[in-house]
Amino acid sequence: MKAKLIEKKEIAEGTLYTKFSLEENIIFKAGQFFKLKLIDPSYTDERGNERFVGFVNSPSDNKVIETVVRKGPSAFKRSLSELIEGTEVEVGEVSGEMLSPEDQNTSWVIVAGGIGIVPYMSMFRVMKEKGLSLDTTLVYSNTKESWVIFMDELGEYAKDDNFKFIPTMTQDDSWEGEKRRIDEEFIKEKVSSLENSLFYISGTPRFVPDMVKAVKNLGVQQRNLKFEVFTGY
């Protein structure tokens, strides 16, 4: 499916937001991702010119795609950063099984690192659209505040008593909030119901295995755990 770039901007230090219009409706579920292929990119390397990236927008906005990627030195990222509005790309396979909890009585704990917040934004926007108030605890780790994406929007969601938002900046001297790295003790302190909660974990290849190990050590069963690794675009 062809798509056209209609908006591009840096929404945090080193983080690029892009919005594409579509020739036809796209069908996806909140939390899924899609294959983005650049046509005749400015730069090439051995990794090729296509990547899987996550939807940020709600599935109800099915004539557009919004996504976010970290900027970097790869040919794909450099080419994407230099695209001009009106440039055509190709949108391919939609995939991903880390979807919103079906049981609205579930206690939902999200542990996200950096760009790992992306799949949840679509889920949160659907919750807002439908007026849902799921018992949610979001633990969101970043190196510093200037790297955080969607901070204001997450703050708005946290105005709901059922949405607990816990950001931590691990290397930011100017940040006045939580600064600890997430570990077993951190999770045990912040999450009130470990045994009965559904845990979602996403982030870098280094972050995710550590978090999975931590929650399993705290007694979380495999059936209550979902995770996704962002290997970098």
Alpha helices in 56-163 (DSSP H): 75-82, 118-130, 151-157
Q: The tokens of 137 are what? A: 């605890």
Half-sphere CA count of 71, side-chain side, radius 13 A: 17
CA distance 50 to 89: 10
Do residues 165 and 141 make contact, with C-beta atoms less than 8 angstroms apart?
Answer: no
Q: Is 206 exposed, middle or buried (0-12, 13-18, 19+ CB in 10 A)?
A: exposed
Q: The tokens of 124 are what? A: 């949160």
Q: The tokens of 165 are what? A: 């938002």
- Rounded to two decimals, what is the model's pTM? 0.92
For 101, 118, 130, 153, the CA distances from 62, given in Å and listed in that order, are 21, 17, 16, 21
Domains of the chain, residue spans: 2-95, 107-229
Q: Looking at residue 59, what is its pLDDT? A: 96
Q: Looking at residue 18, what is its pLDDT? A: 98
Q: Looking at residue 232, what is its pLDDT? A: 59
CA distance 28 to 14: 27
Q: The tokens of 97 are what? A: 């099984």
CATH of domain 2-95: 2.40.30.10
7 pLDDT higher than 70: yes
- How many Å separate Cα 40 from the centre of its chain? 27
pLDDT tier at 194, thresholds 50, 70, 90: confident
pLDDT tier at 193, thresholds 50, 70, 90: confident
CA distance 18 to 149: 13
Counting DSSP H helices and E strands in the chain, the numbers are 5, 11
pLDDT tier at 176, thresholds 50, 70, 90: very high
Half-sphere CA count of 207, side-chain side, radius 13 A: 26
Q: Looking at residue 105, what is its pLDDT? A: 86
Q: What does the pLDDT look like over 134-168, one tens digit per residue? A: 999 999 999 999 999 999 999 999 999 999 999 99
CATH of domain 107-229: 3.40.50.80
Q: Looking at residue 157, what is its pLDDT? A: 96
**How many C-beta neighbours within 10 Å does residue 166 have?**
20
Judge if 2-95 and 107-229 fold alike in CATH terms. Answer: no
Q: Looking at residue 184, what is its pLDDT? A: 95
